[in-house]
Structure 1
Amino acid sequence: MSSTTPASSGRRWDGTPIRTHRLRSLRLSESSPSRLLCTAQASRCRDCGNHITWHDRTDHRPIAMHPQELPATAVPLVCRWHIDSGIAHPADDGSPWCRIPHTVLCPARSASTLLTPKLTALRRRLALHTRRLTDNGTFTPPLAPTEPRNPAECRPARPVVQLLYGRYLAATPLDDIQCVAQTRTRRRCTQPVLDPTTEAGIWKLLPATPARGQLTLPATSMAVYDLSHLPYSEQLRWRTQRCPRHATTPGAPDLALTGWEVLDPLLHHPHIHTRLPDTARRRGNGQQSCHRRTAARQEP
């Protein structure tokens, strides 16, 4: 018996060629209505801990949706939404199924009068799930606005930032705001937006005047991290929530939604502060102490 010869490289045992497909990374289409590489960003509600999915709306603002579709007959007409090309539309598309915003079902909010019996039962199941998460220690409900703050805290948990002629509420402290761009390893960038090599903003006490037709705040002044003195490109980098490296990287898609919310005086009133935080800390006996800024830093 003659010895068999090994198959040549690039061919199978029977001599047929092996076709290899070159791996290609995902890219955003030029006609895509969203900057996100993936739609339906999975997350958890910070108020109740239940699963939610984030979608862009037609006005490019994010909205938290219940992750599952519901029968359209069980949802009031004003609460019906549908997803088209990753964009959430507040309307009924005529299909027997629809989507509903999480705020309608969130057990941490007051029950809406629009809830049908089926939505009430679903809201009750979400409340039970929140209770289980709390008992297991996997979810900690946020502190009520009436509870006293820790006097050792030197930074707002959700600061108010002024940029691009508007005021926004951040989702995390300033030094915890993370870049949303995708890296070459197809992971989310871990760099912060607040970079020490770039010019920083200035904490100011600005008049609590209404913005864009909003109601006047009860307080006469509010602590604002002002970025309006920075160049337009730098303010745009903060608004798109990118680190300095990915702000100048063309074609780098977003892997997460930005955490900005347009400041609403009534909704975000618990996060408005009338005193300036102090970022300078001094160490003594192994402890950190914080001091308020003097009144000379207050802006008229």
Structure 2
Amino acid sequence: MANGTHWDGSPVDDGTARSRLRGTMRLHKSSQSQTLRQHGINRCLYCHHPMEWYERFDTKTWLPLLQQVFPSRLVPERYHWSVFNGLVYLGDGGSGECRIAHPSMCPAMEHDDERALRRLRGHYAVTTRKWIEQGAFVPTPQKEVSEEDVVEQIAQADTETRHVITYTYWTWLGPSAIDEICCVARAHSTSERCQNPVFDSDLGEGTWTQVERPMPRGRTGHATLWSGQKMWVFDLNALYPDEYKRWRSQRCTSHAKSSAPDVKPPQWIPFDALRHDAFVVYDRPTAANARKRNEHPLKGLVQPLASAGRCSAEGCSNRSHRSEEDGWLCWVCEPIARRRARTHEQWQKPSLEKDPPF
């Protein structure tokens, strides 16, 4: 205990405040999530309806769901979600009941006119309008609300500086600067959020690296003007998997292997070079200057991923373990390209056996 704080960074109670009652909720032993349900619920900034946050089983990102459970037969199949062991999965899991993602119902977004969901969406819109008229809710000012805007509320950043981290092919945007990201675990002494930072300069985890700014996928990437520009990211590729897991779980070194639950979900969101243009850093940050870590003894024997070949097909992210020539296609895209070429060739050659259809 030093500087008026406990070992986990929580403030010491001086005795003037009432003793805080610790929560009686606890995580089930089969749960794959560290977040208690009471801490995974908040209200949408755009419609004020409550949302429950769950981690997706596939992308490991967080998805807000409606609190209600609906009969699967009344909801289109593509809107079906189910929760199992703390994670959210596609489909109803054969239970006959399903959950619905909040972005599919949020009144602040534009939705396709679907008869099956028209009444439910209308109910949500009317409720939001009543809250606004009664003065109970002031919506966040924004011209257009997209699905990404709703999902990225998990961060709720209160700072203009947000740094980007990279690990293998993943790129994540943090809720603040690297040295200001706080642990999300619950402090045992106060039952509140731990105040320790995730970054520890003594461990030498991560270095500032200049990388090429990623291009957006699809046709949007062809219209960008930043081709060849460099940006600064906090590189975590030197970490072992369990060390990277501590960063993704947003926990300090004291709670890295602790069974303490989270008071809120981790605040990392996938970095999008187009949407998060305001957080791209062009000058080397001065924050989080960690000491240099000793290189791994096998580093020189393993070919880095950056030098490996990448499929040239649009929208494909498959790579090769070796360098490839320009225009190389992966094992998935090459058969497709050959089939398209044969089809194109057949249409180009005139048929000699059949008369033309005119």
- The verdict on a shared fold, with TM-score over 0.5 as the criterion, is yes
Shift of 1:51: 1.6
TM-score by length of 2: 0.54
Q: Are the equivalent residues in 2 in contact too, given 1:46–1:141 (CA < 8 A)?
A: no
More strand by share: 1
Q: Are the equivalent residues in 2 in contact too, given 1:38–1:255 (CA < 8 A)?
A: no
User: Cα gap change, 1:113/1:183 in structure 2, threshold over 3 Å: closer, same or farther?
Assistant: same
Q: Are the equivalent residues in 1 in contact too, given 2:211–2:232 (CA < 8 A)?
A: yes
The aligned residue for residue 305 of structure 2 is none
User: Cα gap change, 1:251/1:157 in structure 2, threshold over 3 Å: closer, same or farther?
Assistant: same
The aligned residue for residue 118 of structure 1 is 119
Q: Are the equivalent residues in 1 in contact too, given 2:166–2:235 (CA < 8 A)?
A: yes
Deviations 1:209-243 (CA, angstroms, capped at 9, x unpaired) = 369xx558433335343133653355332211011
Query: In percent, how many aligned pairs have the same letter?
Result: 27
Distance 1:237 1:55 in 2: 19
- Give the secondary structure class of the aligned counterpart of 1:56: strand
* 1:101 and 2:101 matched: yes
User: Cα gap change, 1:234/1:45 in structure 2, threshold over 3 Å: closer, same or farther?
Assistant: same
Which of 183, 190, 211 aligns to 2:187? It is 183
* 1:33 and 2:32 matched: yes
Shift of 1:123: 3.8
Cα RMSD over matched residues?
3.9
Alignment of 1:32-111 (within 5 A): 32-38=31-37, 41-59=40-58, 60-93=60-93, 97-111=97-111
More helix by share: 2
User: Cα gap change, 1:251/1:53 in structure 2, threshold over 3 Å: closer, same or farther?
Assistant: same
The aligned residue for residue 291 of structure 2 is none
Q: Are the equivalent residues in 2 in contact too, given 1:36–1:255 (CA < 8 A)?
A: yes
Q: Are the equivalent residues in 2 in contact too, given 1:43–1:53 (CA < 8 A)?
A: yes
* 1:206 and 2:205 matched: no
AA in 2 matched with 1:193: V
- Give the secondary structure class of the aligned counterpart of 1:118: helix
Distance 2:202 2:182 in 1: 16
- Give the secondary structure class of the aligned counterpart of 2:255: helix
Distance 2:108 2:277 in 1: 16
Shift of 1:208: 2.3
Shift of 1:160: 2.6
- Give the secondary structure class of the aligned counterpart of 2:126: helix
Distance 2:265 2:184 in 1: 7
Q: Are the equivalent residues in 2 in contact too, given 1:48–1:141 (CA < 8 A)?
A: no
User: Cα gap change, 1:123/1:163 in structure 2, threshold over 3 Å: closer, same or farther?
Assistant: same
- Give the secondary structure class of the aligned counterpart of 2:42: strand
Distance 1:261 1:119 in 2: 29
AA in 2 matched with 1:223: M
The aligned residue for residue 292 of structure 1 is none
AA in 2 matched with 1:259: Q
Shift of 1:183: 1.9
Which of 232, 235, 254 aligns to 2:262? It is 254
Deviates more, 1:43-52 or 1:271-280: 271-280
Q: Are the equivalent residues in 1 in contact too, given 2:214–2:273 (CA < 8 A)?
A: no
Distance 2:284 2:140 in 1: 25
AA in 1 matched with 2:123: L
Distance 1:241 1:263 in 2: 16
The aligned residue for residue 273 of structure 1 is 280
Distance 1:235 1:201 in 2: 10
User: Cα gap change, 1:85/1:222 in structure 2, threshold over 3 Å: closer, same or farther?
Assistant: same
Distance 2:46 2:210 in 1: 29
Shift of 1:67: 1.8
The aligned residue for residue 319 of structure 2 is none
Alignment of 1:148-167 (within 5 A): 156-167=160-171
User: Cα gap change, 1:105/1:28 in structure 2, threshold over 3 Å: closer, same or farther?
Assistant: closer
Which of 241, 247, 252 aligns to 2:250? It is 241
- Give the secondary structure class of the aligned counterpart of 1:181: coil
Q: Are the equivalent residues in 1 in contact too, given 2:184–2:262 (CA < 8 A)?
A: yes
User: Cα gap change, 1:171/1:132 in structure 2, threshold over 3 Å: closer, same or farther?
Assistant: farther
- Give the secondary structure class of the aligned counterpart of 2:254: helix
User: Cα gap change, 1:228/1:57 in structure 2, threshold over 3 Å: closer, same or farther?
Assistant: closer
Distance 1:193 1:136 in 2: 36
Which of 173, 180, 196 aligns to 1:169? It is 173
- Give the secondary structure class of the aligned counterpart of 1:241: coil
Shift of 1:32: 2.9
User: Cα gap change, 1:264/1:273 in structure 2, threshold over 3 Å: closer, same or farther?
Assistant: closer
Shift of 1:44: 2.5
Deviations 1:73-99 (CA, angstroms, capped at 9, x unpaired) = 442221122223333222134556431
Structure 2: unaligned runs, 5 residues or longer? 1-21, 146-158, 288-358
Q: Are the equivalent residues in 2 in contact too, given 1:182–1:255 (CA < 8 A)?
A: yes
